Structure 1
Amino acid sequence: MTTMVDASGSAPARWLRIVPDTMTMTGRVLRLARRDPDELLVGLLLPTMMMLLFVYVFGGAIEVGTDYLSYATPGVILLCAGYGAANTAIALVQDSALGIMDRFRSMPVAGATVLAGHVLASVLKNLVTTTIVLAVAALIGFRSDAGPLAWLGAVGVVTAYIAAITCVATLVGVVARTPAAAGGLGFFMLFLPYVSSAFVPPETMPAWLRGVAENQPVTPVIETVRGLLVGLGSDGAPVGDLGPTAAVALIWCASLAVVSLVAAAWVFARRGR
């Protein structure tokens, strides 16, 4: 009798297993990623290629008032992490297309754990990507005088950004019908950092574009990470109090994550019914 009640979803037993079920779903997504050579190859090559491209191809022609490697590294970190997080949308659409989501709905598993597993797996995978970017940057000369607390703060902000973009991707993944449609978010996230302070100071942009660059979510995140790691602002000068910028960055990340995840859970449950 207990099994029948749990399977029907009318008992709270499945909610008591939300943590272990989330860990199971996270492990599943990570195993699938490990078995996908294309994803592994992109995860290794994209950060390396982007770092080398900006430093050795564009760096010599861009004047930012300081060493361009120090200036651009936080931007490359956010670019690669955002693109990788956005690919969660494709993974969710593929699960739906293969009928796996229908199988999960028929099991005594809370729908939230399915989505949470994708989110946690994305955060873990993209923190690895961030490590690769930093390793490549260090090999070609990047140095940071940041102390342990500053490094911890930078990792925390990057993690919050990855989680926020993953939550947006989760919403796209449960709404989109095809992998091509879901992939549009990855394309968008690949170019969004260009319209920010990631690679050039917003002051060098046309007035209308400067307003966009200064008031979109990526800019305060990059400014916070750059300030923590190398102590520089968007103009290449030493940065002052990072508190207000960090607060704006975290508010952006939290808002995107909460709104997107709540909407994704609602759509996921509605489609299940």
Structure 2
Amino acid sequence: MTRRELSRWRRQPVAVVVGLVFPVMLLMMFGYLVGGGRGVSGDYLGYLVPGMLALTMAFGLEGTMVAVTQDLNKGVVDRFRSMPMANGAFLVGRSAADMLQSALGLAVLLAVAAALGWRADGGPAGFLGAVGLLLLFRFAMLWIGIHLALVAGKPELVQAVQILVWPVGFLSNAFAAPESMPDWLGTVVQWNPMSQTATAVRELFGSPGGEPGHVWAAVAWPLALLAVFFPLAVRRFARLSR
């Protein structure tokens, strides 16, 4: 199933390139055109890069969601059901391909950030820990997207469902510090799972805005989301096969 999904990269290279370039464009735009995040003192690029990495892990789910709904509507999944394979194999294969693309996207964005002058000062262990937290967050968001795609059922409905991800991304501390916001909004932002990941990643990278004690929350939130949405997605897929 994973090889099947990766073969789409050869047939649709433009979609892969766009997915890699879009986060770079956001980084350049917010770093140089918008810039100067509110409530951020010192090096704004150092604050922005970890937030952009976390934001990238939350966005770009529509490719996987559309692929799942297209296979459902074109009868591809019906052919797989006639084979001796587990119900979750199709979904796990699709998620594995997405995670490979997400890892590639992280590498590209980190390389661009380094070219712009950003540096990770947390040491090798901190760097690897931060990357691990980002991929864990992506994996949790991915299974939320897969479940929503199965609920939507049609590719044309995916775009409407994908809009739900935007509040998670922009009601966060990716671009500005919660201290600069109204108290009620700052509280919402601080409890956002993406904000927890961004803050923990800043701590591990040794970047501005990092605060001790957030790593555990950056692990607990994705695991809690996976505990809910992974079985929901597999159960929903099993019901569709009846």
TM-score after normalising by structure 2: 0.93
From the superposition, tell whether residues 138 and 218 of structure 1 become closer, same or farther in structure 2 (CA, over 3 Å).
Answer: same
- Counterparts of 1:185 and 1:206, CA distance in 2: 28
What runs of 5+ residues in structure 1 fail to find an aligned partner?
Answer: 1-24
Q: How many residues align?
A: 242
Identity %: 35
1:85–1:126 Cα contact (<8 Å) kept = no
Counterparts of residues 84-95 of structure 1 (less than 5 Å): 84-95=60-71
User: Cα distance, 1:191 vs. partner?
Assistant: 4.7
CA distance in 1, matches of 2:22, 2:127: 23
Identify the match of residue 196 of structure 2 among 220, 223, 247.
220
Which fold has the larger relative contact order, with Cα–Cα distance below 8 Å and residues 6 or more apart in sequence? Answer: 2
In the other structure, the counterpart of 1:248 is: 217
SS of 2:84's equivalent? coil
Q: Could you tell me which of 105, 108, 111 is aligned with 1:129?
A: 105
Are 1:258 and 2:234 matched, yes or no? no
The question of whether the paired residues in 2 share the 8 Å contact of 1:72 and 1:199 is answered with yes
Does the 8 Å CA contact 2:88/2:234 hold for their aligned counterparts?
yes
Give the Å deviation of 1:253: 0.2
Instruction: Structure 2 unaligned segments of length 5 or more: list them.
Output: none
CA offset digits 1:196-224 (Å, max 9, x no partner): 11110111112222221111211110001
Q: Secondary structure at the match of 1:160?
A: helix
- Residue 61 (structure 1) shift: 6.4
Quote the Cα distance in structure 2 between the aligned partners of 1:178 and 1:38: 23
Matching residue's letter, 1:124: L
CA-based RMSD: 1.7
The answer to whether structure 1 residue 35 and structure 2 residue 11 are counterparts is yes
Q: 2:184 aligned with 1:208, yes or no?
A: yes
In the other structure, the counterpart of 1:271 is 240
1:74-89, aligned counterparts within 5 Å?
74-89=50-65
| TM-score, scaled relative to structure 1 | 0.83
> Which residue of structure 1 aligns with residue 116 of structure 2?
140
Q: Distance in 1 between matches of 2:116 and 2:14?
A: 26
Q: Is the 8 A contact 2:37 2:44 kept in 1?
A: no
Name the CA distance, whole Å, in 1 between partners of 2:161 and 2:154.
12
Cα distance in 2 for partners of 1:212, 1:180 equals 31
